[in-house]
Amino acid sequence: MLSQILSTLLPVFLIAGCGALYGRFRSPDIRQLNTLNMELFVPLLVFVVLAERQAPLQDYAGLAVAGTGVVLGSGLLLWPLARLLKLDLRTFLPPMMFSNAGNMGLPLMVLAFGEQALPAAVVLFVVEMLLHFSVGLHMLDRHAPLWRLLRVPVVIATAAGLAVNLGGLALPGWLLEACRMLGEICVPLMLFALGVRMLDVDFGAWRLGLLGAVACPASGLLLAWPLAALLDLQGVQMATLWVFAALPPAALNYMVAEQYRQEPHKVAALVLIGNLGSVLVMPLVLAFLFSAGFAKPL
């Protein structure tokens, strides 16, 4: 089992390490990489996964509900802790709720459970993105207009993919293949960009970052168990939900905090130290899933 866990995690950390090494000597414009990924490659991957008619999207409704419960429930679960420690709720709670379902979640789930896990991984990623650009922005700015959600490329790709799938449209194979080839660029590029980001770790707020590194996966996992049982999730869907629940905070939290001037240095500590903490958390989660028989290692 150890070899299976290592074969899953080592490619993730190796690609991220390549990004960190390259960034150390070349200092690439990571914002441009992330913009290209989030505006082109990720939306194409989302579109092709949702548009393919062989993907029975109705089978993933329970997983989408469970993912929503993990995201929103984490905020509710950690709200008393934040109040007790007198933390700024707008600084602490969003990174605890909105996880790294893109940069780490997508490649990790596919490497761990195979291509069969891609639709489930995309569904959870879409759920996280929709909630982040609606509930998340409202948490930082109560006057943020909801129509901004309609301008997000991932949201547009989601709507287009659902329309094609549910409408029974048969797109040409060459078009889907071109979209798939471009979309698959996003997976290693996400990990590479994550590695470059890790160079910006600010340990000035290390205590808060350490608290988040424990609280984020702990709150998610506490919610994943009852939600999976309540919604009767099995096999790969159960496994992907557990991985989703244990993911560290998304880098997007830092970008949004910077935009709204919401203590970005503290949010950066929560994000980056949380991602470092995943080196310890993820092997434990995968070991549990494989040993408990919820998912079979490749």
Band (261; pLDDT cuts 50, 70, 90): confident
Backbone angles phi, psi at 114, to 5 degrees: 90, 175
Q: Tell me the C-alpha distance between 267 and 209, whole Å.
A: 8
Flag whether pLDDT at 296 surpasses 70: no
pLDDT band of 20, cuts 50, 70, 90? confident
Query: pLDDT digits over 170-189, tens only?
Result: 888 899 999 989 988 887 88
Task: Give the pLDDT confidence score for residue 203 in this predicted structure.
Answer: 65
Q: Which residues, in sequence order, are CB contacts of 110 under 8 Å at separation 6+?
A: 117, 118, 121, 187
Mean of per-residue pLDDT scores for the chain? 85
Single out the residue of 171, 189, 1 nearest to residue 103, CA to CA: 189
Give the pLDDT confidence of 157-170 residue by residue, as tens digits: 888 988 888 888 88
Does the pLDDT at position 54 exceed 60? no
Q: What whole-number distance in Å separates Cα of residue 66 and Cα of residue 244? A: 10
- Give residue 63's pLDDT band: very low, low, confident or very high (50, 70, 90): very high
Q: How confident is the model at residue 202 (pLDDT cuts 50, 70, 90)?
A: low
Distances (CA, A) of 204 to 100, 192, 207, 209, 269: 22, 25, 8, 9, 8
pLDDT at 36 over 80: yes
Domains, the chain, with CATH or none:
2-291 (1.20.1530.20)
Q: How many whole angstroms separate alpha carbon 138 and alpha carbon 146?
A: 9
SS3 260: coil
250: left (phi over 0), alpha (psi -120 to 50) or beta: beta
Query: Quick one: pLDDT band at residue 16, thresholds 50, 70, 90?
Result: confident
β partners of residue 249:
99
Query: Given this model, what pLDDT does residue 190 score?
Result: 73
Q: Is the pLDDT of residue 30 over 80?
A: no
Closest by CA position to 250, among listed 149, 142, 125, 166 = 125
